[in-house]
Amino acid sequence: MPVSASVGSAFKKVGGVVVGTFYGAFLAGPVRGAHDLGTRGADGLAEAFGGGTVAKAAGYPIGAFAGGFAGGFIGMVNGAANGIVYGMKDPFSQKNLSLDGEFHDYDVLDFDFE
């Protein structure tokens, strides 16, 4: 392999790690993570409170806030991990930038890097 090709590949991988880690940790990961766990928290807490109207009135806002806060933090960690792992494997891909799949199908607790 020519030296220029290996240098170009190295720059692409380093760029993928840097851009993917920043974008995943500070933009895509926290937003998608907060949405994911916020939705799960709101639904789960409303059901845990009994599922009635009063339970939903209390469970949705509390669950969304607590789940959203936790999801944002976990999404930051997951986004940074995606940026590092996929920055080396597949630089500047959707997985590298934590943008794979549909927005509402994001699983913030999935740390399986294939």
Q: Where are the domains of the chain?
A: 11-98
Q: Are 20 and 82 in contact (CB under 8 A)?
A: yes
Alpha-carbon distance of 24 to 78, in angstroms, equals: 8
Q: 104 vs 18, which has greater pLDDT?
A: 18
Q: Which helix (H) or strand (E) holds 84?
A: helix 53-89
- pLDDT digits 0-9 by tens, 25-73: 999 999 999 999 999 999 999 999 999 999 999 999 999 999 999 999 9
Q: Which residues contact 92 (CB under 8 A, 6 or more apart)?
A: 12, 15, 16, 19, 20
Q: Which residues contact 97 (CB under 8 A, 6 or more apart)?
A: 19, 20, 23, 24, 28, 82, 83
Residue 84 is encoded by which pair of tokens? 């590092």
Q: What mean pLDDT, rounded, does the chain reach?
A: 92
Evaluate if residue 18 carries a pLDDT over 60. Answer: yes
For the beta carbon of residue 41, count every other beta carbon within 10 angstroms: 23
Percent above pLDDT 70 for the chain: 96
Q: Average pLDDT for residues 1-27, to the nearest whole number?
A: 87
Alpha-carbon distance of 62 to 85, in angstroms, equals: 34
pTM: 0.86
Residue 50 is encoded by which pair of tokens? 């009994």
Residue 20 is encoded by which pair of tokens? 């993917």
